[in-house]
Structure formats: structure tokens, C-alpha cells
Amino acid sequence: MYMKTRLVRVRGPGGKLAFGASGEAEVVSARGRGSGGRGFMSGAGETELQLQRRRIQERRLSLLAQIEDVRRTRAIQRSSRKRHGGSFGQDLVTVAVVGYTNAGKSTLVSALSGAGLYSDDRLFATVDPRLRSVILPSGRKILLSDTVGFISDLPVQLVEAFHATLEEVAEADMLVHVLDSSAPDLEEHRSTVLQVLQQIGVSQDKINNMIEVWNKIDLVDNIALTDGIEDEIFLTEGEEEEDLFSEDDVSSEQSSFDSLDDTVDSESLSEKSCENDDDKMASEESIAEPVEMKAMNSELLPEDHFRESNGPEAISTSACTLTEPVSTCHVKTSAVAGTGLQELLQLIDTKLNGQQTVVQRSYGPFDRKWRPSSMDDEKAAEQ
């Protein structure tokens, strides 16, 4: 097939035609040959290499045009969402799902918006299929935004291509960071993502407020999880896991969630933990002192205990800070098995409710606008 459509020639070191010989290989396309005379010996047309380069260039330009389209569309979507109750309003906040490549972001977004949970792609599907609407346990509707996976050492040339995604991340009201908990280089993935988020101008507040999803929990062997892996991931070195709560506490946790979803089992119910929003100051302090990390085994945290100190809206008083100088809430999920999904939605709900009163949207590098300093808040709001 290849030979039928293309002429392949290999030029040997002496410039002679030498099929299959080692040396500089020059592949001449049949198309190019036609345009350049009698084969490359007499100044052939476009070589295969040139042809490939041209095609790559064309493809690049076409992709850049598409990306520009997506950016424009998303900008329109965002302003429309703001007008009709978006970022500052009640109804349509955007939660961007970020994470290292292959962590399971797309699977998770599909699972969250798939059968069994409310899903409505209609509104934005025509312009961007990666935005899915989801109804939280409280009835609040949000938009979940799937994003391009981050990778280490992202080539500079690719950054432009990622801008559409990055803008969505910078603009999102909240971030959900999906981690593949079975990945051996989990820590590296986590720090790469945090680094990229900082690089693209996501505010520290937003990073601190981020929910971590420990996905692919089905791949992590239960015994290994309790014996070692979880300790490695979640506990600070030197800290000892404590049996903090009695069985009664655990069952009270379950009862408090029964109203949310009867199908949720006790195991998955205990699979979440969250820092107190009010503890934000404390967590910010911990950024300055990265060594001082609190951590707890989330399995042991009862719901009643969370509520005691945080009021009805809060899920947890316990900071589940990790070994990184960033404190986060976390939920364990298996996007393929469908476990932990309700807990994740509940956590997003709780976080958003907590944010509601203090929503201070951080401006990323993409939406900073100049504003006269004398302008009072009312005028600014009108604008």
C-alpha cells in the first residue's frame, strides 16, 4: 500500500542511489516528484520530509484556529453565565476538574454527570462538550469542566495550546484535583499539578480550597492501603495513626448521611474528610511553615464530630493537610466502580455553601481588567 502511493528512495553516502543502504535517507513523495521534474535526481519537488513539515504546519495552524475558537466560545459562555447567575450568582458555578494526565478526570466527570446522577449536556454541548451540568445533593446546579491533563515539563510551545483549558481553570469557582491513587509517582504528579496551577495564576486561596479526589481507589489493595500506602500519602512522617473514634461515632456518621442517598454504604461514607473553611487562616499559616502538618485518617472521622465545631454546613473540623504545603479536602473515589461519587458531590456542595458568603473570586491572568481606583464598589458592580 505504502509502495503504491509513494516513491521511496535512499541516497547513500556517495550521493548514489542505494536502496536500503545506510546513509542520508531522502523520501520523495509521488506528489512532490510530479511537481519538480524527473525525480529528485534532477531537483525533485517536495520531499517527504518537506511534505510532512508542511502538513504538520497546516495541522498546527488549524488546531490553533480551533483553540482560538474554543477560547472565544468559552469567553462568551463565561460572560453569559455571569449575566444569568454564574460565578457570582447562586446557580451556575463552574467547578474545574484538574489533574495529572490519566488520573481519571474524564471518567470521573462522565460518571458524575452520567446515569443515576443528574446530567444535562444540552445547554453547552454544542459549543463545548467538556462542560457538563450536575445537580448537587442540595439541588444546586453546577457546571463541571473537564480539562486537559497536566504533565511534567510541559513544553513551552504547548502552553499556548493549553490556554483554553487553563483559562477555564483560572476562571473556575472551585477546583477538584483528581489523583490516581494507584500511581507510584503520585507525589510527583501532585506537585506538578500544583506547580502548573500556580504558574497559570490560580490564586493560593483557590488552591487551598481545592478538593482532592483520590481516584482509582479500587486499584489500591485494601490491606496495602491501611498498612502503608495511606500512611505514606496522608500522614506526616513520625505521626501515629490514632484510633480517635469509637464504632458508635462511625455509625452516627452514617445516619447523618442517610438522608442524602440511601444507597451510600458506610464504607464510602467515611471516605471523606475536609478542612474547616474557617481554618483557612490556619492552613495559610501552614504554608509558611510546611513542616507543621496535621493529618488524620479520614476513615475515622465521624460526621457528628465535624459538625460540632463547624455548624450544620461544615463537614469536618479536621484539617487533612497533606505532605505538600497545601491543605485540601479529599474524597476517595473509583470513577469506574462508581464509588465515592455522592460523597464528592456532597463535599463540593458543602464547600460551595461555605464559600457563598465569602465568595471572592480570584482573578487569573486572563481576566484582569483595569479599573479606576476611585471607582466605588457600586459603580464597579454596575459595570
SS3 content of the chain, % helix, strand, coil (to 5): 45, 15, 40
- Residue 317 contacts ligand GTP per CB under 6 A: no
Nearer Cβ to Mg ion (106/256): 106
Q: Name the minimum Å distance from CB 107 to Mg ion.
A: 8
* Residue 125 among known ligand-binding residues: yes
Please identify which residue in 145, 165, 215, 318 interacts with ligand GTP, judged by CB under 6 A: 215
- Residue 336 contacts ligand GTP per CB under 6 A: yes
- Residue 142 contacts ligand GTP per CB under 6 A: no
Q: How far apart are CA 225 and CA 267, in angstroms?
A: 14
Backbone angles phi, psi at 292, to 5 degrees: -80, 95
Are 272 and 298 within 8 A, CB to CB?
yes
Count the helices and strands in the chain (H runs, E runs): 16, 9
The alpha carbon of 110 is separated from its chain's Cα centroid by a whole number of angstroms, namely: 13
Please identify which residue in 101, 191, 254, 355 interacts with ligand GTP, judged by CB under 6 A: 101
Please identify which residue in 50, 73, 102, 106 interacts with Mg ion, judged by CB under 5 A: 106
- Residue 335 binds which of Mg ion, ligand GTP, none (CB < 5-8 A, kind-dependent): ligand GTP
- Residue 161 contacts ligand GTP per CB under 6 A: no
Nearer Cβ to ligand GTP (220/293): 220
Q: Name the minimum Å distance from CB 103 to ligand GTP.
A: 4
Q: How far apart are CA 54 and CA 46, in angstroms?
A: 10
Nearer Cβ to Mg ion (121/265): 121
Phi-psi region of 15 (alpha: psi -120 to 50; beta: other; left: phi over 0): left
Q: How far apart are CA 130 and CA 144, in angstroms?
A: 8
Nearer Cβ to ligand GTP (49/117): 117
Question: CB under 6 A: which stretch of 104-112, 117-125, 200-208, 346-354 binds ligand GTP?
Answer: 104-112
Per residue in 12-28, is it b (16+ CB within 10 Å) or e — as a string? eeeeeeeeeeeeeeebb
Chain positions 4 to 23 lying near ligand GTP, rule: CB under 6 A, are none
- Residue 317 binds which of ligand GTP, Mg ion, none (CB < 5-8 A, kind-dependent): none
Are 352 and 220 within 8 A, CB to CB?
no
* Residue 104 among known ligand-binding residues: yes
Q: Name the minimum Å distance from CB 108 to Mg ion.
A: 9
Q: Name the minimum Å distance from CB 144 to ligand GTP.
A: 12
Question: CB under 6 A: which stretch of 42-50, 103-111, 165-173, 233-241 binds ligand GTP?
Answer: 103-111
Nearer Cβ to ligand GTP (86/99): 99
Give the torsion sign (CA, 320, 324, 326, 330): negative
- Interstrand relation of 131-135 and 141-146 (parallel, antiparallel or unpaired): antiparallel
Nearer Cβ to Mg ion (97/235): 97
Distance separating the N- and C-terminal Cα atoms of the chain: 63
- Residue 26 binds which of Mg ion, ligand GTP, none (CB < 5-8 A, kind-dependent): none
Distances in Å between the Cα of 330 and the Cα atoms of 76, 268, 322 are: 32, 12, 10
* SS3 track for 65-119: HHHHHHHHHHHHHHHHHHHCCCCCCCCCEEEEEEEECCCCHHHHHHHHHCCCCCC
- Residue 219 contacts ligand GTP per CB under 6 A: yes
Q: Name the minimum Å distance from CB 207 to ligand GTP.
A: 19
The site that binds ligand GTP (CB under 6 A) totals a number of residues, namely 16
Q: How far apart are CA 327 and CA 203, in angstroms?
A: 14
* Residues in contact with ligand GTP by the rule CB under 6 A: 99, 101-107, 149, 215-216, 218-219, 334-336
- Residues making up the annotated binding site for GTP are 99-106, 124-128, 146-149, 215-218
Residues that bind Mg ion (CB under 5 A): 105-106
Could you tell me which residues are annotated as the binding site? 99-106, 124-128, 146-149, 215-218
